[in-house]
Amino acid sequence: MADVPRRRPPRGVRLRSVGDGELELRHRVVHGYRRAYRMAGQGPALVLIHGIGDSSATWAGLIPDLARTHTVIAPDLLGHGASDKPRADYSVAAYANGVRDLLTALGIESATLVGHSLGGGVAMQFAYQFPERTERLILVSAGGVGREVNPVLRAVSLPGADLVLSALRLPGMRLQVGLFLRMMKVLDTDLGQDAPELLNLVDALPDATSRSAFIRTLRAVVDWRGQAVTMLDRCYLTEGMPTMLMWGDRDSVVPVRHAYGAHQAMPGSRLEIFEGAGHFPFHTDPARFLTLVEEFTRTTAPADWSREHWRDLLVDGRPGTAAGRPDDARNRALERDLREASERSAT
C-alpha cells in the first residue's frame, strides 16, 4: 500500500498519537469462538469490515490516521484472518450478529460502519437488523446490491471448488498465479488493477480449514448465477441515515454499475467514484479515501433512529419507481433487480 500523506486536521479537532501496540491483533472469545480484532484511538466509533478471504490487515495502513479522531475497531470476521474457523453459520445475517456481539463485548453501543465488498453487505445487514446502533454507512465496492459478480467467484461456489483451491497450494502454483496476475496488470486489464490483493487471497488459504471457511462464506452469498443475496429491496430504509458509497470505476469483482443502482435506491446517499481504481479503491488512493471518510463523519450528524420513523418507512414501503422517469433504461434495470431481489433477500 502506498504511503499515506499526513494532512492538517480540521480546526478544533484534537489529535492523539497511535502507539504501535494499539495496531496489534487482540482477541476476544464470543460464544466460545476466538475473535481477532484491531482497536485503536479515541472518539466516535468507526468499524472497518473487510471482504471475503481478507482480514483486518487490509486496513492496517489506514488505521493510524483514522484513529487520530475515532475509536477504530477492525475485526477479523469469523472464518477469516486470525479468528477461529469453525463449521458454522457464515451468512451475512450471522456476520452482522457477530459484529454486534463483538461491539457489545467491547462496550461500543453505536458506530459508523465502513464495509468493503462482503463487508459492505455485512454493514448493510447490520444497519437493517440494528438501525438503532448504526450512525452512518460507508460502503466500499459493496456486495449485495446486484446479481453480477466476477465469474471466478461464481465458479468457486460450485461443487469441487475445494479441490481447485487445494491445487493452488501445490509447488509452483503461487508463482504461476503471480505471473498471470502480473500479465493482467501489464495488459492494463480491470482484473490486473487488484493483482497484489488477489495474490494475497491465495496466501490467505493455507490449509483445509481456511479453505472450507472461505467456501462456506462464498456459497452463502454467491451461486453459479451470481450474487444470491441482496439488500437492494430494502435500501429505502436508509432514509435519514447518512450513507456514502465508494467504488472503483475499474472494479472487476463487483461492477461499478452496482454503485449507481445502489445510489438511486438509497435516498440521500452520496456517491464517490475512484477513477482508475479496481475493487480496492482504499488501496489505490488511500489519501482520498481518508479525506472522504474524515470529511463525511465530521460534516454529517449520526442517524437519529426512532421506532416511529422505522415503522412509517415500512408501512409506506419502497417507492414505486427508482426515479421520476419510469421509462429510463437505468430505472428499468433497477426495477428488474428489485424484482429479482424477492428471491435473494437475507433476513
Catalytic residue among 251, 258, 263, 285: 251
Catalytic residue among 50, 263, 279, 283: 279
In angstroms, the Cα distances linking 186 to 35, 47, 183, 228 are 39, 35, 5, 33
Contact 335, 321 (CB under 8 A): yes
In angstroms, the Cα distances linking 140 to 82, 92, 251 are 23, 16, 11
Instruction: Mark whether 141 is an active-site residue.
Output: no
110, amino acid identity: S
Q: Which residue has the cell 494475497?
A: 200
Q: Where are the alpha helices (DSSP H) in 54-188?
A: 63-66, 92-105, 118-129, 151-156, 161-167, 173-186
DSSP per-residue string spanning 226-285: EE--B-GGGGGGGTTS-EEEEEETT-SSS-THHHHHHHHHSTT-EEEEETT--S-HHHH-
Which helix H or strand E contains 46, and what residues bound it?
strand 45-49
Instruction: Mark whether 251 is an active-site residue.
Output: yes
Contacts of 328 (CB under 8 A, 6+ apart): 322
Catalytic residue among 117, 141, 157, 212: 117
In angstroms, the Cα distances linking 157 to 150, 174, 211 are 11, 21, 12
Give the C-alpha separation, 258 to 116, whole Å.
Answer: 14
Contact 222, 233 (CB under 8 A): no
Instruction: Mark whether 117 is an active-site residue.
Output: yes
CB 35: neighbour CB atoms within 10 A? 23
Contact 139, 332 (CB under 8 A): no
| Closest to 46 (Cα-Cα) out of 139, 113, 102, 119 | 113
Contact 38, 23 (CB under 8 A): yes
Grid cell in block for residue 85? 474457523
Residues recognised as catalytic:
117, 251, 279
